[in-house]
Structure formats: C-alpha cells, structure tokens
A and B are shown apart, each in its own frame.
Chain A
C-alpha cells in the first residue's frame, strides 16, 4: 500500500513534535490509544485567552497515525478552544487522503484533541 504524499511529508517532517510540562498553566494533555493496539497518541495544547497558541504531539503508531497527530497540531494552533472542538476525523481523512484501513488513525487524533481540550478545561475550571 502506497502512502499519500502528505502522509509521507508529515512522517518525514513531523510538525510540532515534542512535549510541554503537563503541570504548566494553560496546558491541556490528551493521551489516547493503547500499546497493545499498536497506537498511542499524546496531544498537548497551550491556551492563552481562550486561544490555542501552541500544540505538540508524540505518537507511537504507524505512519498514518503519526501524520494524523502532526496535522492535528498544525490545525489546532491559532484556533479558539471552541473552534478546536469542531475538528472532525473526516477532515483529517480528507486532508491526508487516508485509505479505509487507516481511518482509525484519524479517529484517534480526534479523540486526542477532545481529550486535550477536556483536560485543559478541567484544569482551568476545577469544580
């Protein structure tokens, strides 16, 4: 199976790969997936005044999973928290031209975004 050019590009030149300190103010962390399933994504956002000013990822998984999370960090930057919540896995599938067997990678990326947002909100507004 050949990879799309965009997947290869994200794989070879991952955007925003790395980590923020979890405790840092305004940082939301989402970790989704499981090692025994072959993919784990960690996605982090840094929020200031309700806007995502930075995002980072680390991913254990296939090329499409790495590309999906790399793309997600690109898209997250500059979005408000509300806008970020509207990113759909289907957008990722379309952008990266993922084949049907790799759709779960995009689902995982959407889950990671949601988990990071939820973690940020929980930290910002602990009830």
Chain B
C-alpha cells in the first residue's frame, strides 16, 4: 500500500494512464490549431477534437454538435447562467436554483442579482439534501427563464430527481440547466430522457485532464441560444471563443469513452467498498451520522459526522489519508459547510463531518486502512473531547449555556 492514500475523488481524480497516452501525440507531432482549415496540421487536430466531441456526446446521449468546450465546469456554469440571462432577458428576469448548488452556480446567481437585477429563488432541500420537484413547480412565475439544479451534490453525494424537474421545465417551457460535474461518468445520464437543456461538466472529475470542461447546449426541442461571454474568433459555434486546447479535449474524449465502458463496473465495485467502509465505522463507533441520502447518492460518496470530534483535528490525526471536511477550520470563510447547514445539520455536527470520495484506483486495502485509522483517531479525540465527557456524564449539551465567540 502506498501512502498517502487518496480518498478525495470529489475534489479531483488522478488521470487514467490510458487518457494520458491518448493525449501525448497532440502535444508534439499533432500540434496543429483545430481552426486551421488549409493544411494537414489543422485537419489532424480537428479530427482529434471531433472524435472527442463524439465520445463526450455519446456518454450523455447528446449530439456531438451540442458540446461546447470550456475551461471547466465553473466556466460552463457561468456561461449557462449568464448566457441565458443575457439572451432571454426580454422574456423574463427570474431564475430558480437550489441552496446546495456549487459555489460556481450560487456566486454566478448572486452576481446576476446584483449586477443585472435578476430575481433568484434559492429552493430549500429536504433533510437528505434533495430538491423537491413540486417546490420547483411552485416557484415558477411568468417571468422565469431558467431552472438550474445540480445533478448530484459534491459534498454529500445526494442525487436530485432530475428527470422530474426536467419534465416540469418542459411542461412550462422553461430552460433547464444542470450542473452535472459530480454525476457525469459516475452514473448514467441521458439528456434526452432527463429533459436537460444545458449541462455543465468537466474532465478532471472523471480521470481526465484539468483545464477542460464542456457545456452541453441543446440544439432542438427547443433550440437553446446563449450569449457568448468571451469574444474572439467565434469558436464553438460562436458560443465560446478561444483556440481549442486539443490535447486536453482529446483526453476529455478518451476519459468519457472509458467511463462509458467502465462506469457500471466501477460503480458496482465502489458502492460495495463504500458500504463496507460505512458499516465498519458505524459498528465500531457510536454517534456516527450519515449526511445525505441513504440510497439516492453517488456510489463512491460517503459523508459522515462524528459527534464530539472536530473535523479538522480528525483530518490531522489521519494525515496519511487525503480526505475533506465540512469543518469551518478547513474553509477560508470560517463557517461550517453551507450544504450541511441547508440539510438542517446542526453547526456542531457540520464541524464534525468528513467526506470520503472513492475512485477508480481506490483499493480494498486502502479503504480498510482508512476505516481502521478513522476509528482509532475518533476514539482518541473523543477521549480528549470535553463534549464527549459531558455527554457521558449525562449532560444534555443543548441545555448548556455556551459562550459563543
């Protein structure tokens, strides 16, 4: 077993060696500009890009012409929201999203509120982190131009009822954008069946390179139009100018092809591994709480809170394992996870949360080691915790008069 162990696959994934191999020729001998129409270098590069476009489209059941390359999912989210608002501002000024979206959607929505006077409804989620499609329906007004709901949450892995939301959007004739960064390549996604009009995703979450993402933009029923946010040579059907990073795109394509072939097997293997990790921990430790949906969640995600133990100290005690926490001490804002807070998880348990993200290259023995180490560290830190001591003495921590600081 090699250390440190990587269990933070929601943040990013290692690149699959097969992806790297596919990219290499495009850095050196096949270095052409895909927009060069008059020589073989350009044609060769364009061929690489078009093959990738097909591979990517196939994974999500779209047409290759509906894929717009961007620098990543953050840019795709910006382009979708800002592009739709700018293009359809005469139709209305209201968008609907949810409170547990990634910051790339929430902050874009905030910018649209302050700079363009757009009205934004932030839908609440249930205790599992799920958006209720009926809440979407009830939030729609005659000014609504866009619904943006994420496919699966990056912290808790809860998968939203996308198909139901897509159906409502179609019924009402409103565009539906989905940030599927965590879902693409992990679970089957079909933009036709799910009624998705715009969809953001990126390569580095699916064992591809960093710096490349895509926005799926539906071409018919309805034909979606977005205002470009980057002016220039008119690449990507005028929606996103800039010379295409051919090696990254080729790698993105290969990564999608591999996901299409291996997704089902990966998901089956990782969910068994994840469930074993969860079971081992809950068997050994009391007061461990699952965050997110018990069944409707990404197969490789586990997010749990360990009562009486602060998350950052837990990570520090398990420093040979790469994990992530919802603790404020691990964030720049000094606030605990807004996603967990939106679920109604108390601040003290949000501070105590740990996210495990398994991946294609995670080994059984790594997960077993992680379980053992987590159990040891939680036990040690609880011995050190005044809260655990008080709870053991039978004191109800909720009745204690704390001096908040």
Which A residues have a C-beta under 8 Å from some C-beta of B? 3, 8, 11, 14, 17, 19, 31-42, 58-63, 65-66, 101, 104, 107-108
Contacts and interface: CB of A to CB of B under 8 A. Distances in A.
Given A34-B405, A38-B329, 11 more contacts: A33-B403, A37-B347, A38-B328, A38-B347, A40-B402, A58-B389, A60-B308, A62-B312, A62-B316, A62-B329, A65-B310
The SS class assigned to the A binding surface is: mixed
A116 B351 CA distance: 26
Contacts of B347: 35-38
B385 A59 contact: yes
Contacts, number: 85
B384 A35 contact: no
B383 A17 contact: yes
B312 A32 contact: no
Nearest to A33: B405
B386 A60 contact: yes
B313 interface: yes
A8 B348 CA distance: 24
Nearest to A107: B405
Contacts of B317: 11
A66 B351 contact: no
Classify chain B's interface size.
20 to 34
A35 B402 contact: yes
Interface of B: 308-310, 312-313, 316-317, 327-329, 334, 336, 346-348, 351, 383-389, 397, 402-405
B385 A60 contact: yes
A38 B310 contact: yes
Given A36-B347, A36-B348, A41-B386, A62 B310 contact: yes
Q: Which 4 A-B pairs have the closest CB atoms?
A: A34-B402, A36-B347, A35-B348, A42-B386
B404 A3 contact: no
Nearest to B331: A101
Contact of B334 (A8, A40, A66, A101): A101
Contact of B312 (A8, A63, A104): A63
B405 A37 contact: yes
Contact of A60 (B310, B336, B405): B310
B375 to A, nearest CB: 18
Contacts of B348: 35-36, 38
